[in-house]
Amino acid sequence: MRLDGKVAIITGGAGGIGHATVRKFLREGAKVVVADLDLERAQSVVDEADADGFAGSAIAARVDVSSYPDVVALVARTVEEFGRLDVMFNNAGIAGGRPLLEQNPEKDYYPMIRIDQDSVYFGILAAAHQFVAQDSPGVIISTSSIYGESAAENAMVYGAAKAAVISFTRSAAYELGPRGIRAVAITPGRVNTHMIQRLGSELGELFKSQQVSGKLTEPEEIANTVAFLASDDASAINGTVVHVDEGYSAFKQRFA
Ligand code: NAD
């Protein structure tokens, strides 16, 4: 019950990492807003959790994280429902990409930057305003990626957006730290969610072979880290990147 009574927004809450994090937070006693573009799937996550009878409680909310007014409205809805905000998990995102010479900005650059980069800036900004307004600090956790720290095939725009997530996090921690607000980025490696599964079994097997563990990371393993970072046990962790990649970023030479 490390998150007992804490109020959290989890964006991308209907997806793999988000769903697992919602369940972990509810087990730890949090009140959770399951926020996603897909309201129907977000509601199923809530219904499933209700049926499992966790300690915490949850509601579903539709949000397009690439819209600042939507993100502001999401925070307002959270406060209306639960009275405050303690944890903002900026997690919604999309992946993909094409070789640079096949790209055009309208299709390949702007949509991904809006969803994977602008969304995190919006989430940090809206949460920070709420933390200051309620005069009680909170935690902002944002999902980057191993590709935010190194280049990969067809990942130029995705990697740039995920690098921005790390930079936003550092600046937010620097600026908001004196108010007691923490900001942390996580960099998952290869996680067993729809994002990887849709690439097919061949690529899935390649990714597994590149992990020292020989397996994809399960979304629950990411959720455990997020719950720790959101808790008071992580009070000294601020402005940094937590690698939840089974060593991928430490062992780059293994894959050269
Ligand atoms: P997922 O596809 O299972 O879930 C992503 C969720 O985000 C979906 O429910 C989707 O509906 C939602 N979403 C997409 N666009 C949105 C928008 N505009 N507004 C609101 N919600 C939106 O993928 P996942 O693996 O759970 O990914 C979660 C995060 O983890 C993403 O930011 C992703 O980039 C990051 N990540 C994933 C991996 C991996 O291997 N799966 C690795 C590193 C980082």
Query: With 90 as the cut, is the pLDDT of residue 180 above it?
Result: yes
Res. 182 pLDDT band, cuts 50 70 90: very high
165 within ligand 1 shell (Cβ under 6 A): no
CB atoms within 10 A of CB 80: 8
Residue 107 has a pLDDT of 97
120 within ligand 1 shell (Cβ under 6 A): no
- Do residues 181 and 131 touch, judged by C-beta distance below 8 A? yes
Give residue-wise pLDDT tens across range 91-143: 999 999 999 999 999 999 999 999 999 999 999 999 999 999 999 999 999 99
Atom of ligand 1 nearest to the CA of 13: 9
- Over range 200-204, report the average pLDDT: 91
* Residue with the larger pLDDT of the pair 66 and 203: 66
- Do residues 161 and 129 touch, judged by C-beta distance below 8 A? no
Res. 253 pLDDT band, cuts 50 70 90: low
- Do residues 244 and 186 touch, judged by C-beta distance below 8 A? yes
Res. 211 pLDDT band, cuts 50 70 90: confident
Question: What are the structural domains of the chain?
Answer: 7-193+219-242 (3.40.50.720)
Query: Which residues does 136 contact at the CB level (< 8 Å), separation at least 6?
Result: 84, 86
Radius of gyration of the chain (CA): 17
Nearest CA to ligand 1 atom 14: 93
| Phi and psi, residue 85, nearest 5° | -135, 130
Give residue-wise pLDDT tens across range 65-100: 999 999 999 999 999 999 999 999 999 999 999 999
- Do residues 42 and 22 touch, judged by C-beta distance below 8 A? no
Does ipTM surpass 0.90 in this model? yes
Instruction: Output the average pLDDT for the chain.
Output: 96
CA of 132 to the centre of ligand 1 (A): 28
List the strands of the sheet with 7-11, edge to edge.
Answer: 57-62, 31-36, 7-11, 87-90, 139-143, 182-188, 241-244
Atom of ligand 1 nearest to the CA of 64: 19
Residue 70 has a pLDDT of 98
